[in-house]
């Protein structure tokens, strides 16, 4: 009803403008309380959205009216159709005029036709997609709380909201392609590869904001081809994906065509039902990651850095991405084995009326003797014991003894809690020591941008460590030379590989003995303790004066 009233005001506004050319659009829009932008578009000939034919519409107006009439007739006979029934009606009308069908049946038919056309077996069917992580966000899940807190339970969240993306691929037989992790950074840091014990076939890439791009998508498809080419049973591989821009770039499609990778895009807004990763893999993965972050929170680690994210994701990945979950995801998506009913049965909506709950009770019960759990209950228990002592004359002391026993039980419970807290403090200290060690670690840059596998990064770090060790040994073997000639005087020092003899020999007066060095003779100091040229008395023969020297 509000939409009809708004359309009526737009019609009146257009008539007012046509009848009086002196009125401005701004004034008319204000008078009739409509949007000036919408009024301008309607005046330029743009139709209302409800009167516009959708681009993906397959049924004609007459066919839609026939379906509506048939649904109304079924409803009057107490046989209202379900969603799948309406879909069947539309498909019957489309098949009558040889048009493509609608709904998820068309998707499953496309999968079967593609497998038959290229001879693709179930062992060569893959699915890939990306999922995002906010490093410090714990995803919603079921928790155990008190009856009073039912529906109001909250979890403490770390402070970091930095974004990271994980691109994951899985095979229908139940094995996973090594993850491709995208972090928001410029440089690759050495501690990413050294301290988290990541598998050597995992790959890490960096972008400006931690999101996937067309370039990252191309790097991933090469990563996919590297780990699946040797395991292919037939000639072609089927890769099921969604409509993300990075999955359909020109470079991506050309590489797939070159490597015999057949891509199949799912219908829009259907990945929650048709994509195996969304059906059975990403949910358990994020729940497992949340458990890792909860452990950090209990250890009072309130900021989750990239290093903590990588360590937590590693544990979550191995705990959730199992063969059972992967096979179950393809089964739930109706792909392997082929069973469209696994998806179509979810489209039938069953409405249920919730049972109304009664109003909360406002009657406050008096204190009942029990083991106290907090200071308020301890105070109530104390008042109860005092009242019974004051009222005790010749009655049985059993109630008072029971109350004292309950106090003793509460004290023991507190001691048990103290023991648990001591164990928690010990674990917190260990976690803090490990965190402090990682925070104090030097952040060594490995590479600017791009992507690196764990093995490539380890090789670069090992090569850099060897070079640093060689330089340290050369510096330790060299002798301090206070009166050296300028470096430019020795040609060996201007090359990429300096003259070794020049840096390690014990020099006296003379030139460098290296055959590579063409430097002229220069005055150098002798071993420590030797006299400098300025300390040689006048008239004393020097090595330069004596040829025999």
Write the pLDDT tens digit of every residue in 288-337: 998 888 888 878 787 888 998 999 999 999 999 999 999 999 999 999 99
**Over 60: is that where the pLDDT of 547 sits?**
no
* pLDDT score of 416 more than 90: no
Say if residue 510's pLDDT is above 60: no
On the question of pLDDT at 505 being above 60, the answer is no
Average pLDDT, the chain: 78
Comparing 13-22, 77-86, 182-191, the range with the smallest average pLDDT is 77-86
CB-CB contact of 309 with 191 (8 Å) = no
| Helix (H), strand (E) at residue 389 | helix 375-391
Q: Does position 206 have pLDDT exceeding 90, yes or no?
A: yes
Q: Are 227 and 178 in contact (CB under 8 A)?
A: yes
In angstroms, the CA 36 to CA 45 distance is 14
Q: Both tokens of residue 281? A: 């893999």
Spatial CB neighbours of 59, under 8 Å, sequence gap ≥ 6: 67, 90, 93, 94
pLDDT tens for each residue of 141-157: 565 655 665 555 555 66
Which of 121-130, 209-218, 363-372, 389-398 has the least mean pLDDT? 363-372
- Averaged over 427-453, what is the pLDDT? 82
The pLDDT value given to residue 141? 59
Contact yes or no for 123/233 (Cβ under 8 A): yes
**pLDDT of 355:** 54
Mean pLDDT to the nearest integer, 403-424: 72
**Cβ burial, residue 69 (10 Å; 0-12/13-18/19+):** exposed
Three-point CA angle 162, 166, 171, nearest 5°: 165
Give 23-39 as a DSSP string: S-HHHHHHHHT--HHHH
Q: Which of 69-83, 254-268, 388-402 has the highest mean pLDDT?
A: 254-268
Binned at pLDDT 50, 70 and 90, residue 410 comes out as: confident
pLDDT digits (tens, 9 = 90+) for 31-88: 899 998 988 888 888 888 777 777 767 788 888 888 888 888 878 877 788 776 787 7
248 within 8 A of 270, measured Cβ to Cβ: no
Q: What is the pLDDT of residue 97?
A: 73
pLDDT, tens digit, 9 for 90 and up, residues 100-111: 666 678 889 899
What average pLDDT does this structure show over 16-30?
87
With pLDDT > 90 as the criterion, what percentage of the chain qualifies?
A: 30
Instruction: Indicate whether this model's pTM tops 0.85.
Output: no
Cα 51 from chain centre: 42
Rounded to whole angstroms, how far apart are CA atoms 432 and 57?
60
pLDDT tier for residue 536 given thresholds of 50, 70 and 90: very low
The pLDDT tens digits of the residues spanning 120-145 come to: 999 999 999 999 998 877 766 565 65
Q: What percent of the chain has pLDDT over 70?
A: 74
Q: Does residue 496 carry a pLDDT above 80?
A: no
Domain map of the chain by residue range?
2-96, 105-140+159-344, 375-427, 478-531
Q: Indicate if the pLDDT at residue 419 is higher than 70.
A: no
CA dihedral 269, 275, 281, 287 (to 10 degrees): 10
pLDDT at 236: 95
Q: Which long-range contacts (CB under 8 A, 24 or more apart) does 73-80 make?
A: none
What is the CATH topology of the domain spanning 105-140+159-344?
Answer: Nucleotidyltransferase; domain 5 (3.30.420)
């Amino acid at each position: 009803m509000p939409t009809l009233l708004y359309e009526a005001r737009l019609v009146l506004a257009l008539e007012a403008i046509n009848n009086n050319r002196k009125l401005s659009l701004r004034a008319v829009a204000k008078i009739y309380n409509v949007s000036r932008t919408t009024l301008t578009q309607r005046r330029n000939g743009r139709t209302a959205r409800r009167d516009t034919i959708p681009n993906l519409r397959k049924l004609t107006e007459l066919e839609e009216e026939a379906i509506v009439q048939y649904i109304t007739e079924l409803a009057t006979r107490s046989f209202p159709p379900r969603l799948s029934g309406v879909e069947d009606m539309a498909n019957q009308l489309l098949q009558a005029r040889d048009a493509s069908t609608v709904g998820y049946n068309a998707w499953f038919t496309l999968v079967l036709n593609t497998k038959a056309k290229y001879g693709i077996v179930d062992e060569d069917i893959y699915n890939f997609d990306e999922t995002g992580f906010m490093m410090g966000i714990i995803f919603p899940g079921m928790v155990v709380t008190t009856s009073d807190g039912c529906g109001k339970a909250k979890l403490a969240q770390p402070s970091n909201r930095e974004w990271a993306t994980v691109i994951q691929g899985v095979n229908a037989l139940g094995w996973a392609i090594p993850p491709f992790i995208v972090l928001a950074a410029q440089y690759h840091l050495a501690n990413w590869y050294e301290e988290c014990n990541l598998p050597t076939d995992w790959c890490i890439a960096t972008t400006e904001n931690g999101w996937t791009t067309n370039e990252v998508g191309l790097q991933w498809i090469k990563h996919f081809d590297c780990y699946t080419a040797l395991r292919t049973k037939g000639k072609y591989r089927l890769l099921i994906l969604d409509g993300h821009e990075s999955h359909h770039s020109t470079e991506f499609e050309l590489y797939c065509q070159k490597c015999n990778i057949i891509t199949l895009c799912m219908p829009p807004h259907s990945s929650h039902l048709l994509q195996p990763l969304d059906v059975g893999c990403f949910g358990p993965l994020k729940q497992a990651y949340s458990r890792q972050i909860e452990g950090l929170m209990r250890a009072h680690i309130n900021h989750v850095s990239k290093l903590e994210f990588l360590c937590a994701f590693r544990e979550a990945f191995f705990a959730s991405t199992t063969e059972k979950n992967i096979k179950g995801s393809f089964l739930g998506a109706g792909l392997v084995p082929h069973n469209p009913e696994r998806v179509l049965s979810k489209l039938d909506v069953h409405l249920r009326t919730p049972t109304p709950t009664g109003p909360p009770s406002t009657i406050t019960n008096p204190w009942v003797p029990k083991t106290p759990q907090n200071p308020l209950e301890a105070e109530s228990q104390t008042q109860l014991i005092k009242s019974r002592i004051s009222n005790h004359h010749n009655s049985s002391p059993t109630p008072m003894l029971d109350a004292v026993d309950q106090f003793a039980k509460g004290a023991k419970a507190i001691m048990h809690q103290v023991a648990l807290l001591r164990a928690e403090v010990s674990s917190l200290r260990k976690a803090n020591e490990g965190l402090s060690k990682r925070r104090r670690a030097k952040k060594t840059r490995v590479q600017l941008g791009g992507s690196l596998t764990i093995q490539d990064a380890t090789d670069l770090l090992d090569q850099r460590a060897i070079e640093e060790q060689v330089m340290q040994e050369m510096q330790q073997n060299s002798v301090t030379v206070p009166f050296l000639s300028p470096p430019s005087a020795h040609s060996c020092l201007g090359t990429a590989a300096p003259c070794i003899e020049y840096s390690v020999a014990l020099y006296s007066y003379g030139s460098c003995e290296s055959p590579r060095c063409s430097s002229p003779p220069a005055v150098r100091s002798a071993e420590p303790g030797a006299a400098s040229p300025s300390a040689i008395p006048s008239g004393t023969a020097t090595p330069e004066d004596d040829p025999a020297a």
